[in-house]
Amino acid sequence: MAGSRFEQQMADRLRTLTARGLQRDLRASSIPGPGLIERAGRRLHNFSSNDYLGLALHPALIARAHAWASEHGAGATASRLVCGSLTAHQQVERKVAELKGKPAALVLNAGFQANQTILATLLAEEVAGPAPQVFVDRLIHASMYEGLKSAGIIPKRFRHNDLDHLDDMLGKARRSSPDSTLFILVESVYSMDGDRADLACLCDIADIHEAFVYVDEAHATGVLGPQGRGLSADPAVRGRIDLIMGTFGKALGGFGAYVAGSETLCTYLVNRCPGLIYTTAPPPSVLGAMDAALDLLPSLDAERERVAGHAELVRQTITGWGGNCAQSTTQVVPVILGREEAALAAMRALEAADCLAVAIRPPTVPPGTARLRLTFSAAHSPEQVATLLTALEPVIRSCQ
């Protein structure tokens, strides 16, 4: 049977991945407390979570999720355009628009879905023209690449954070196709390297070439910028970015995604974006957690300082040992080890020392840059960070 042949092909591919140290497996976990994770009965210090502010277990988020579920029900019951657009959605969207300094915002079901479906919608010929040109930092998230694939677009990739390269590419594109719609796609904080885009310079370049700027703020929202508003809230760029998207599943402690932009942009997405039109709307409990997190953000400066302090201490210590943390300046600190086998061995060594630091391997990162991806949270204590460093030192020194 054809199905049997297909099963065999999948099994063969999995064996190949296993031999190359690239197979992934799901491992059941629980969250017994802030900064912790439990697997197979073992409690570990969790340095792989994106819960940067420790809000996933915050009583205010849990209480409002419960209250909104009790008031509005367990589900939204339909897609937004049918009858699933609740007053709760609109309340959260007003708060997101204010947070990002934009006239309008929309809530979507997940960050991956948001990037994929929004890009496919915006790059449609009816608005972007017959031959839009899309310029992307080569390290943008996989969800953006999937959105471009859905739109049938082959992007033009510029070197990571090399805006001179971008400027040159845009200039050539504008001269050769003066009527083309130009798009620039970046992340404000890169999820695997922990470095930042220079958004002020990027906006200056976009203004010169009349390009649409799309910024993914998933790893900046909540942690960086004034009151955790993200790097897009910097006075030098506020109001200059055409579209800002981000998630509620990282520093905001919950689930879901948002997009913020002009009234026209958001209205167009409501009418044409499949990922909003053809899916059940986010449920009231999820919206309640979103709402509570947005209310808390302005009061969390001490938590943001704690996160930054943890990350800076670890970066300085690792580089002092001769380790490689790339260009990280944020709560995401990679420890570049090179080979997949080295990253997996390092992960196992840290787990033996009661620390979870997941190995990240190609294709998530470029070949030859397998790493431990360390992330820091306001929920981590100084003692937990000290435990991590004690476990890391022999790992770093053994790789030199």
d(CA 130, CA 51): 41
**Amino acid letter, residue 308:** A
Q: Specify whether 187 is catalytic.
A: yes
The answer to whether 135 and 330 are in contact (CB under 8 A) is no
The answer to whether 105 and 259 are in contact (CB under 8 A) is yes
The answer to whether 185 and 135 are in contact (CB under 8 A) is yes
The answer to whether 380 and 208 are in contact (CB under 8 A) is no
Catalytic pick among 51, 137, 167, 187: 187
Measure CA of the first residue to CA of the last residue in the chain; give whole Å.
Answer: 52
Catalytic pick among 250, 285, 328, 380: 250
Q: Specify whether 115 is catalytic.
A: no
Q: Specify whether 165 is catalytic.
A: no
Cis peptide before 363 (omega within 30 of 0): yes
d(CA 156, CA 170): 10
- Alpha helices in the chain, H assignment, sequence order: 2-19, 59-72, 87-100, 111-122, 125-128, 142-151, 163-176, 199-209, 263-272, 274-277, 284-296, 301-320, 340-352, 382-398
Q: Quote the Cα angle for 98-101-107, to 5°.
A: 55
Catalytic pick among 45, 100, 219, 310: 219
Q: Specify whether 250 is catalytic.
A: yes
Catalytic pick among 46, 49, 50, 143: 50
What's phi and psi for 247, nearest 5 deg?
-130, 160
Catalytic pick among 216, 242, 303, 340: 216
Q: Specify whether 354 is catalytic.
A: no
Q: Specify whether 141 is catalytic.
A: yes
For residue 34, what is the DSSP state?
A: T
With b for 16 or more beta-carbon neighbours within 10 A and e for fewer, the 288-322 pattern comes to bbbbbbbebbeebeebbebbbebbbbbbebbeeee
Catalytic pick among 95, 100, 141, 160: 141
Residues acting as catalytic residues = 50, 141, 187, 191, 216, 219, 250
